[in-house]
């Protein structure tokens, strides 16, 4: 990478930060508990819309993992999201009524909040349908991981998105609030992921899984990106550039080993494929607020009419992180 | 039983409440403890800590030094603490150096009994620089012959430049007479005699001056001087402490509980300060019968050695979010051996079924056929939910291949390949030492010969396929090809098929003599077919010489050896 490239990236990063600041005008604070944040706290930042049904389990899961404070952006929900979160001591809540798409799918809002509140903290950025797992997550809290990353001088941690889905039709088993979504959507694809390197930001570009297999078999290039770097020791100079797929400065995207070894990595179990997806797809289609003109939701809406089955004979049933590590989807690296 | 004969020196930096807990554990068994608290710790915090232990008559605090990794401060701290300990507690016969993140795994009485049985032994890992494998950073004997006034952690640039400069100018320090540099784990357990001799050595001022400029003196000061004064050195540390590939200590968590219990080590380091279960389990020991087992860290050693290996070499042929090796940094593209056959299914009737039956391997058709990946037994999907969809496959054909081989590890994979297939994968196959490629050149002409297509079409298609195969063969014969390649011309193969088939089966681990060879397709008139192509101005050269008249194949001619390019 030449000097010119570095300069370009620097300008791009600064523009992102300025943009985040400008877009922060769209945020109105509904509940500010940020004064309770302690210096060593691990934070979680999340943007959502009409996800009230998922929140009870989401909060339970991440509190148990050791998240100390939640920073939520509610994008104009018309369900009970806001009322539900109000009064929780470890939750700070903002509302944005403006366009999700024009805020770079929420990235601008969240970049702003992280710049303001997460400087010097480990921060996890996930969607409400994503469950973060990492090596030893069943026996060690997230602070064990972040302490280890700190002592290894690692600033960012990769967790690939793994789509989970139920056996049978989506509408067959309704999801109810507070339930572990993995009780329903507990199957995944283990070995059909393609990887290439994105020369612009130096991150890996991973595609595949059931979404590529079922919805994008005719246009694999358009299949959603599954690479994510959701856990970062934040610095106010950092910025996510597209969802949590890539960051600037580019060094943060070097979460993979190129010299033959394995770095430690985790996974985000993506429990999108529940009975709730049908309504969601219709709604998002009407709003057209998602990436590439909601290309993904168009594909779902079309395929969902035919009630597709994502499950196949070669689907793996999810057991635990060790299974994912053996399958080669994540790695302990040198953490033991 | 009292363990007053063992004194503990504790170097504390962080997690003071854990240090307090451990100190109380020692003193409860009558072991005196001298604490050294890093001078970097805030004064108010230190005073609070001191107050919390003030009531304990067996606890002392020594002069504080600034401790930075790899610097003299740690040695100075150990010296001050050890001096105070020997002076204040006359009954101490062994001094055990530990840190605030160490956790005793066995009752103090067991340690005392163990040491009492070895009253003259110094437990200190100590080896000459030539003999240690663990040095990180490339400085071995130079640790002792160069000067290191700059901090490696804070002023890396100056550190490196000054090392370079000294090397270039040939600057050398003289090692004090009578000392042979030794290195080893920082955590030792020395007898009163040895420690007193080190601390009261007449030359100590000179040694201290020398070691103040040595790099990482905490791993060499006592290790070197013990060699001078000790009568009996047992070169191992009683503290279980493992280092990773960056030279930083592995940390123990709650889930290591059983592992630590079974290790029978006396003290382990480092413990994660929030590993409540570990502290709970080891610091509140019930009235157990004392055991006299030897420490046995073997199993823990293996687990940590595996972690280091995973980080540095890991699983070949795996591509994932945190492992994406460049082609030049690894030996093979894929995880396991596999076989690629070109021309066999064209030349033999039902070759795939035959091969699968005789070898038990999974035999696919043309995996890279333009329409779909012809998976074994006509399946549309294989392990790992990898589908036969041509578009998904062609989007990243290398991923398709590496996924297929990774997903089916443990079972040998065979597939057909030919000039009629998508060719993007060619370079990958040729560069992969796991690929066993067998080619019968020119056999692609057989389906054309047996088809009833318009001869103009056949001629065009033949020209196209021949061109593709010729360039492929060129690649395979290139000196940079890493696959194991065998090439026969079709004429050659047809003349004596048994020998090459047998060698292929041998490779697949089928060592019995070949009893049921596959049936050759009927080639009557093939020579004439080639002649017709020639007559149309196309020159089929890859299949070798087929006479126009049938029957010529039976002529007695010495069989040629298979053309072995590389294996």
Task: Mark which residues 159-178 of A lie under 8 Å from B by CB.
Answer: 159-160
Helices (H), chain A: 3-23, 55-65, 81-85, 107-117, 142-151, 209-210, 277-287, 291-305, 321-327
- Integer Cα distance of B567 and B565 in angstroms: 7
B135 pLDDT above the threshold of 60: no
Report CB contact under 8 Å: A258, B383: no
Least confident window among A6-10, B122-126, B174-178: B174-178
Evaluate whether B388 touches B372 at the Cβ level (below 8 Å): yes
Task: Mark which residues 265-324 of B lie under 8 Å from A by CB.
Answer: 272, 274, 303-304, 306-308, 310-316, 318-324
Nearest Cα residue in chain B from A143:
B274
> Which strand (E) or helix (H) includes residue A230?
none
Q: Is any Cβ of chain B less than 8 angstroms from the Cβ of A291?
A: no
- Integer Cα distance of A165 and A182 in angstroms: 9
DSSP three-state, residue A214 = helix
- Compare CB distances from A158 to B322, B384, B389 and report the shortest one's residue: B322
The predicted-structure confidence for B405-457, as pLDDT tens digits, reads as follows 999 998 999 999 999 999 999 999 999 999 999 999 999 999 999 888 888 88
Computed over every residue of chain B, the mean pLDDT equals 87
How sure is the predictor about B554, in pLDDT bands with cuts at 50, 70 and 90?
A: very low
Q: Give how far A263 is from chain B: nearest CA, Å.
A: 5
Q: Give how far A107 is from chain B: nearest CA, Å.
A: 22
Report CB contact under 8 Å: B307, A336: yes
Report CB contact under 8 Å: B311, A262: yes
Neighbours of A140 (CB within 10 A): 23
Report CB contact under 8 Å: A328, B315: yes
* Residue A69: per-residue pLDDT: 96
Report CB contact under 8 Å: B392, A192: yes
Q: Give how far B413 is from chain A: nearest CA, Å.
A: 16
Nearest Cα residue in chain B from A226:
B321
Q: Give how far B278 is from chain A: nearest CA, Å.
A: 12
* Residue B128: per-residue pLDDT: 84
- Integer Cα distance of B290 and B288 in angstroms: 6
- Compare CB distances from A334 to B253, B272, B311 and report the shortest one's residue: B311
The predicted-structure confidence for B94-121, as pLDDT tens digits, reads as follows 999 999 999 999 888 899 999 999 999 9
B188 pLDDT above the threshold of 90: yes
Q: Is any Cβ of chain B less than 8 angstroms from the Cβ of A147?
A: yes
Peptide bond preceding B207: is omega within 30 degrees of 0, i.e. cis? no
A172 pLDDT above the threshold of 50: yes
Report CB contact under 8 Å: B310, A261: yes
CA within 13 Å, CB half, A189:
26
Report CB contact under 8 Å: A213, B395: no
Q: Give how far B297 is from chain A: nearest CA, Å.
A: 15
């Amino acid at each position: 990478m030449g000097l010119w490239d570095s300069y370009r990236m620097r300008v791009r990063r600064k523009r992102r930060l300025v943009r985040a600041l400008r877009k922060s005008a769209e945020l109105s604070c509904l509940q500010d508990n940020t004064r309770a944040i302690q210096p060593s706290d691990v934070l979680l930042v999340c943007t959502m819309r009409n996800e009230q049904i998922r929140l009870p389990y989401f909060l339970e899961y991440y509190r148990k993992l050791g998240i100390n404070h939640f920073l939520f952006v509610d994008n104009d929900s018309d369900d009970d999201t806001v009322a539900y979160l109000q009064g929780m001591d470890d939750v700070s809540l903002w509302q944005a009524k403006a366009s999700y798409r024009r805020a770079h799918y929420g990235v601008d809002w969240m970049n702003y909040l992280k710049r303001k509140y997460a400087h010097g903290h480990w921060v996890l950025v996930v969607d409400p349908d994503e469950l973060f797992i990492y090596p030893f997550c069943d026996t060690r809290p997230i602070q064990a991981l972040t302490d280890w990353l700190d002592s290894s001088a690692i600033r960012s941690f990769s967790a690939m998105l793994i789509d989970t889905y139920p056996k049978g039709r989506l509408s067959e088993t309704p999801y109810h609030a507070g339930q572990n979504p993995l009780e329903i959507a507990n199957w995944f694809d283990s070995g059909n992921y393609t990887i290439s390197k994105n020369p612009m930001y130096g991150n890996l570009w991973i595609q595949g899984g059931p979404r590529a297999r079922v919805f994008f078999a005719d246009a694999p290039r358009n299949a959603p990106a599954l690479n994510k770097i959701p856990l970062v020791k934040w610095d106010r100079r950092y910025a996510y550039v597209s969802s949590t797929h890539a960051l600037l400065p580019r060094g943060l995207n070097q979460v993979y080993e190129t010299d033959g070894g394995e770095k430690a990595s985790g996974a985000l179990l993506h429990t999108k494929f529940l009975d709730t997806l049908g309504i969601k797809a219709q709604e998002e289609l009407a709003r057209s607020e998602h990436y590439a003109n909601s290309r993904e939701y168009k594909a779902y809406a079309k395929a969902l009419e035919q009630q597709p089955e994502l499950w196949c004979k070669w689907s793996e049933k999810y057991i635990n992180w060790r299974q994912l590590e053996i399958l080669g989807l994540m790695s302990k690296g040198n953490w033991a | 039983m009292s363990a007053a004969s063992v004194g503990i020196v504790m170097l504390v930096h962080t997690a003071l409440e854990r240090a307090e807990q451990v100190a109380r554990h020692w003193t409860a068994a009558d072991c005196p403890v001298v604490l050294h608290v890093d001078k970097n710790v805030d004064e108010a915090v230190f005073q609070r800590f001191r107050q919390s232990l003030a009531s304990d008559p067996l606890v002392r605090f020594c002069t504080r030094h600034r401790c930075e990794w790899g610097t003299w401060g740690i040695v100075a701290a150990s010296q001050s603490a050890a001096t105070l300990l020997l002076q204040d507690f006359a009954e101490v016969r062994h001094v055990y150096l530990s840190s605030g993140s160490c956790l005793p795994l066995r009752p103090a009485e067991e340690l005392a009994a163990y040491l009492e049985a070895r009253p003259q032994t110094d437990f200190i890992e100590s080896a000459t620089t030539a003999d240690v494998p663990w040095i990180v950073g490339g400085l071995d004997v130079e640790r002792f012959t160069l000067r290191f006034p700059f901090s490696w952690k804070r002023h890396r640039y100056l550190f490196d430049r000054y090392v370079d400069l000294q090397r270039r100018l040939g600057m050398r320090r003289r090692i004090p007479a009578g000392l042979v540099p030794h290195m080893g784990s920082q955590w030792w357990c020395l007898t009163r005699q040895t420690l007193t001799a080190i601390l009261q050595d007449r030359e100590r001022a000179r040694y201290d001056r020398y070691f103040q400029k040595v790099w990482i003196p905490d791993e060499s000061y006592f290790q070197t001087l013990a060699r001078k004064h000790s009568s009996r050195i047992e070169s191992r540390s009683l503290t279980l402490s493992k280092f990773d590939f960056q030279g930083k200590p592995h940390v123990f968590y709650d889930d290591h509980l059983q592992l630590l219990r079974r290790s029978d080590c006396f003290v382990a380091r480092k413990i994660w300060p929030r590993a409540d279960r570990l502290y709970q389990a080891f610091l509140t020991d019930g009235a157990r019968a004392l055991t006299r087992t030897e420490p046995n860290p073997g199993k823990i050693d293996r687990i940590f050695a595996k972690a280091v290996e995973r980080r540095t070499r890991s699983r070949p042929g795996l591509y994932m979010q945190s492992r994406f090796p460049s082609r030049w940094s690894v030996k093979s593209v894929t995880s396991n051996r596999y076989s690629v056959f070109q021309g066999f299914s064209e030349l033999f009737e039902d070759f795939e079924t035959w091969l699968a039956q005789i070898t038990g391997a999974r035999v696919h058709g043309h995996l890279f056929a333009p329409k779909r990946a012809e998976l074994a037994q006509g399946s549309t999907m294989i392990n790992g939910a990898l589908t036969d969809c041509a578009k998904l496959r062609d989007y990243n054909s290398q991923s398709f291949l590496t996924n297929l081989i990774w997903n089916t590890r443990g079972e040998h994979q065979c597939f057909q390949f030919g000039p009629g297939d998508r060719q993007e994968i060619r370079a990958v196959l040729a560069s992969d030492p796991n690929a066993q490629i067998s080619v019968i050149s020119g056999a692609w002409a057989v389906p054309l010969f047996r088809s009833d297509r318009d001869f103009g079409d056949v001629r065009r298609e033949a020209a196209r396929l021949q061109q593709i195969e010729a360039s492929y063969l060129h690649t395979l014969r290139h000196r940079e090809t890493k696959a194991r390649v065998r090439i026969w011309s079709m004429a050659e193969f047809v003349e004596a098929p048994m020998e090459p088939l047998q060698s292929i089966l041998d490779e697949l681990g089928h060592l019995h003599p070949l009893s049921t060879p596959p049936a050759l397709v009927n080639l009557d008139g093939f020579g004439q077919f080639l002649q017709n192509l020639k007559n149309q101005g196309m020159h089929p050269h890859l299949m070798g010489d087929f006479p126009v008249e049938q029957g010529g194949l039976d002529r007695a001619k010495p069989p040629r050896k298979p053309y072995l390019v590389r294996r």
